[in-house]
Amino acid sequence: MPSPRGLVQTDGMSESIIALVDAGKQLLEIVERVPSSGEPVILIKSGERVVRIVPIVTPDNGTAGLIAFLQNWRARVPEPDEQFSAAAHESRAAIRPPDVPRE
């Protein structure tokens, strides 16, 4: 589906951003894609975000939707490497508790 604004990362998830005018022409496709991919779509009007279309999670589709979302997310987000892990441990070790705890 064409998207004039493309994909953006928000809260670790990617979301498609589509102009409201274009979304009107592609509504059926958007409504079919959102539940199957688990990826929200944000509609913009005059450059401002006005609506987010997200899948509805029900007991019937909750597990399948979650699995699809996690598979999609894992395909886009690689496992952290050893350098990342070492840097995280290093930064934690650099943080000291205060000398005088608050009362």
What would the pLDDT profile of 49-94 be if each residue is shown by its tens digit? 999 999 887 766 667 777 777 888 778 777 777 777 788 888 878 8
Structural domain includes residue 33: yes
Structural domain includes residue 1: no
Structural domain includes residue 100: no
Structural domain includes residue 101: no
Cα of 41 vs its chain's centroid, Å? 10
Structural domain includes residue 44: yes
| Enclosing domain of residue 50 | 6-94
Residue 13's pLDDT band (cuts 50, 70, 90): low
**Higher confidence at residue 13 or residue 81?**
81
Structural domain includes residue 99: no
52 close to 40: Cβ distance less than 8 angstroms: yes
Strands (E) across the chain are located at 6-10, 13-19, 41-45, 48-53
Does the model's pTM come out above 0.75?
no
Structural domain includes residue 64: yes
Number of domains in the chain: 1
Q: Which residues pair with 6 in a beta bridge?
A: 17
Structural domain includes residue 11: yes
